Structure 1
Amino acid sequence: MAEKMTGASWGERLTLRVGERLRRRRLDMGYSVRELSERTERFGHLVPRQAIVNLEAGRKASLGVDDLFMLAHALAMNPLHAVYDPMAQGAPVEVLPNLNVPTWEALEWASVRDSVLDTIYGIDIDGAKHIVKMRSRLDAVRERIAGQEERLGEYQARFTELDGDAQETTRQLMDGLRTGLDAMRSEEASLVHVLERLAVQMNDSWFSSSAVRNYTKKVWFADDEPSS
């Protein structure tokens, strides 16, 4: 048997998982590869013996939907269960490229939900976009606050060393920085309030995970990025 694919793409890894699931089911049913191929032909769509061999051996990079459904039917198996093992429950599975979730959540998404985020986090795609954008805006505000505080601290450290007009000018600059900080902190508080109203836990939520957050932005915000 040839060595299975290594360094595979997500699609290849998915096909490999399906091949292993179908092979296990075939052995449980007691069919040889030839018998399984003959069954698919009797049901109206031949999946050649060699194609099944290559699939089970991990030598196929992809699997057509027609072949998947026919093989599952010939094995008296739900096609979805060829992709996700219903007995795995909480075991992680790669539902999308580099996005692993418990198997039962993957099954729920694939069977009844419109969005994987709706399954995992209880929000739809528009909700996910809104939350990520709000969080990105909050991060930007906090970055500006940190910069403003740093500048104010520098002025305060030099203030007592100044005299006359220089001290008065510095005082006016510091007053302006404080006014700006008040406005930014007010914006920060408003953003936090909105996020909390969306039932998002600031320190333990999906968007605090950089992997999921970056994945979401890359997939759904691609059309929103300004052209260079």
Structure 2
Amino acid sequence: MMTNLFSVFDPSSSIFNLSLNWMSTFLGLLLIPSAYWLMPSRWHIFWNSILITLHKEFKTLLGPSGHSGSTFIFVSLFSLILFNNFMGLFPYIFTSTSHLTLTLTLALPLWLCFMLYGWINHTQHMFAHLVPQGTPAVLMPFMVCIETISNIIRPGTLAVRLAANMIAGHLLLTLLGNTGPSLSYAIVSLLLIGQIALLVLESAVAIIQSYVFAVLSTLYSSEVN
């Protein structure tokens, strides 16, 4: 029995007091060996075309000053988040991206590495970013405070955006699903149509949120060069 609405997101499956819910995060590793087959399937050709498109886009966002090969970090990040978002849409599978434990683990080290690299190697450039071009001298102290705060909260906004979007859709699906047994057959048929429409919407959200997370991480990294 659920104690509260958010208990559907609590880790519950365990063997010998070891939580197995997070194992769904690593199931994507099982798909990697098949990518090395001699004759790729249509699925692999389709997925490779997506990754190549993302690689070109991230390379454009990073600009000429970006290090070669750095786009693969963000392409891998996109793939990991997308896989876990879709895994959460299946029944009885733990949605790891709806937990700040995972989203903050992805966002915080990335942001910290960008900041350390930027302040150590491009200190003057980082100071220049705190004051936007054309700011009046009177507003400069305030702009420095605002830019500093907006810079500090970046990993939090990245993590909360992803987790909140994943939680919101799943909660709505859970709420509508729990009302099913008490409804008539006619209304249940409408409810099923609504659930399918929500599931399609959640699939779109799963793609969009993984793309947004990867693109914003790329933009944050491009600012430190």
Instruction: Tell me the TM-score normalized by structure 2.
Output: 0.29
Q: Which has the higher contact order (CA 8 A, sep 6+)?
A: 2
Instruction: Tell me the TM-score normalized by structure 1.
Output: 0.28
Give the structure with higher Rg (CA).
Answer: 1
Larger proportion of helix: 2
